[in-house]
């Protein structure tokens, strides 16, 4: 990777940009391969979701994530480079693609600005193989043509383009310049999320029928008692059909406002389908050589009053069933990360993580990341965690395939980004839905252990469905 300590804002003219891109084209010709050029520029405050909505195209890939509680948001659209893969080596293959791209990139602009430089927006499905016709490959990663991100009070816009000897540099220069001028005059969010009219929902139906989930839970409990596994996470799916196409950006606008502690996200495949949600669970974050992950398992509803809420939270903290489920997740995280030589800093006991309509047992885990260990190395060991899979992993995954009646796809998958410096942030694709025009498939799951009750697990999943149902019914 070649970094030019050049601030494009010091010479903002179309001629200067064209001259620079001509130099990049000459470098590509000399190197006999296409040259990725990434140009970053700090701009006035923007709303990345509003920007993405303004250029939204169902036929293009996009990625969006926002965590309002951290004042963080990032959006990318249109793939200038992309990679898909499958199988047991998908994490390694993804890292190889990233390394090859970074070995041949010119990065321009102040790299000290948050989210400067090229980013790799990445999604791993729950299973490492998918069925024919599924909307997302087991791993898909792309570098966006356009990217806008905010952290705190700083906003950066990034343009990525691929240049070779045949590229029309003049047209590329003009396109970047127009986009820069457009961002400079952009009025964040104005009118973008106003409903165009009510779109009544026609159907909301359970996949497999209303009794299937409780039957599957009972079968799982029999298999737990037989010693096949200690825990298994079983999911439900509902299909929703509307009279008019649903816009993922509009649903996201509601999710980010309501679930400020969560990752509000959207991943589009460029074929008209978007996977969206508001996930409460961070899978792994690497920043400045520090790694953060967490155990999040054990759930209860929120109370209608402060007194009821505190009582329900205390009952969750004291619940033997939920603490056992939570400990299985934490033990697995520690066991799977141990071979990487990490010295884990773990809280002495779980605390409550309170969200809008549900509360969870939560234990954060932190460690310094040794030289040579990268975020995808950690991700490959953690995914899928017992919070969304089970214990032991192999037996639980086989059980999921036999007991669930639908493909999971990106549900409970690993979704996030990696930058050119090795930082990255991945979360679990929970509280989610796959939107395809006027149709949506909603997902929710619960962890099953020996003390589980089918009726209680059904109620827990219904509670988790509510976030996405409300977002789509109001969009």
User: Locate tokens 């930082």: which residue?
Assistant: 423
Nearest Cα neighbor of 263 from 255, 273, 274, 275 is 255
| Residue 421 contacts residue 117 (beta carbons within 8 Å) | yes
Count Cβ atoms below 10 Å from residue 155 Cβ, excluding itself: 24
Closest CA to 259 of 216, 302, 197: 302
Using omega within 30 degrees of 0 as the cis cutoff, is the peptide bond preceding 402 cis? Answer: no
Q: What is the DSSP code (8-state) at residue 339? A: G
Question: Which candidate in 66, 78, 134, 281 is catalytic?
Answer: 281
**In terms of DSSP bridges, do strands 154-163 and 139-151 run parallel, antiparallel, or are they unpaired?**
antiparallel
> Cα torsion for 224, 229, 231, 233, to the nearest 10°?
-100
Neighbour count for residue 390 (Cβ, 10 Å)? 31
Q: Is 320 exposed, middle or buried (0-12, 13-18, 19+ CB in 10 A)?
A: exposed
Three-class SS state of 346:
strand
Strands 351-354 and 390-391: unpaired
Any catalytic annotation for residue 310?
no
| Per annotation, catalytic residue among 66, 78, 231, 464 | 231
Q: Is 304 a catalytic residue?
A: no
Number of C-beta neighbours around residue 87 at 10 A: 11
d(CA 365, CA 453) in angstroms, rounded, equals 30
* Nearest one of 268, 387, 383, 279 to 336, comparing CA atoms: 383
Those residues whose C-beta lies under 8 Å from the C-beta of residue 201, and which sit 6 or more positions away, are: 240, 241, 242, 243, 472, 473
* Residues present in the chain in total: 475
Q: Which amino acids are annotated catalytic?
A: 231, 281
């Amino acid at each position: 990777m070649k970094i030019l300590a050049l601030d494009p804002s010091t010479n903002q003219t179309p001629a200067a940009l064209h001259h620079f891109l001509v130099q990049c084209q000459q470098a590509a010709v000399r190197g006999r391969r296409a040259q990725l050029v990434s140009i970053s520029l700090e701009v006035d405050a923007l709303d990345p979701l509003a920007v993405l909505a303004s250029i939204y195209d169902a036929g293009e890939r996009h990625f969006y994530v926002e965590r309002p509680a951290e004042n963080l948001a990032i959006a990318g659209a249109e793939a200038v480079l992309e990679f898909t893969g499958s199988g047991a080596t998908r994490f390694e293959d993804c890292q190889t693609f990233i390394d090859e791209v970074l070995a041949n990139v010119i990065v321009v602009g102040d790299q000290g600005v948050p989210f400067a430089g090229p980013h790799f927006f990445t999604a791993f499905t729950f299973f490492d193989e998918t069925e024919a016709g599924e909307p997302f490959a087991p791993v898909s990663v792309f570098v966006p043509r356009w990217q806008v991100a905010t952290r705190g009070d700083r906003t950066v816009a990034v343009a990525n383009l691929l240049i070779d000897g045949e590229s029309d540099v003049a047209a590329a220069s003009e396109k970047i310049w127009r986009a820069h001028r457009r961002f400079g005059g952009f009025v964040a969010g104005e009118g973008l999320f106003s409903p165009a009219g009510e779109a009544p929902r026609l159907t909301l139906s359970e996949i497999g029928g209303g009794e299937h989930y409780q039957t599957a839970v009972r079968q799982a409990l029999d298999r737990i008692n037989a010693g096949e596994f200690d825990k298994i996470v079983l999911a439900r799916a509902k299909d929703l059909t509307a009279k008019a196409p649903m816009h993922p950006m509009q649903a996201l606008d509601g999710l980010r406002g309501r679930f400020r502690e969560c990752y509000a996200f959207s991943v589009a495949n460029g074929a008209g389908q978007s996977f969206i949600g508001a996930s409460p669970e961070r899978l792994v974050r690497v920043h400045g050589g520090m790694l953060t992950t967490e155990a999040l398992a054990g759930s209860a509803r929120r109370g209608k009053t402060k007194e009821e809420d505190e009582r329900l939270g205390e009952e969750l903290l004291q619940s033997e069933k939920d603490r056992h489920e939570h400990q299985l997740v934490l033990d697995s995280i520690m066991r799977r990360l141990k071979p990487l030589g990490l010295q884990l800093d773990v809280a002495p006991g779980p605390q409550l993580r309170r969200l809008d309509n549900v509360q969870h047992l939560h234990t954060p885990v932190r460690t310094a990341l040794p030289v040579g260990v990268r975020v995808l190395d950690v991700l490959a060991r953690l995914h899928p965690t017992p919070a969304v899979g089970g214990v032991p992993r192999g037996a639980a995954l086989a059980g999921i395939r036999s007991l669930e009646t639908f493909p999971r796809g990106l549900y409970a998958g690993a979704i996030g980004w990696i930058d050119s410096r090795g930082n990255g942030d991945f979360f679990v694709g929970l509280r989610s839905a796959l939107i395809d025009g006027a149709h949506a498939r909603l997902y929710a799951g619960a962890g099953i252990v020996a003390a589980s009750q089918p009726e209680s697990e059904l109620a827990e999943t219904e509670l988790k469905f509510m976030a996405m149902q409300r977002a789509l019914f109001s969009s």
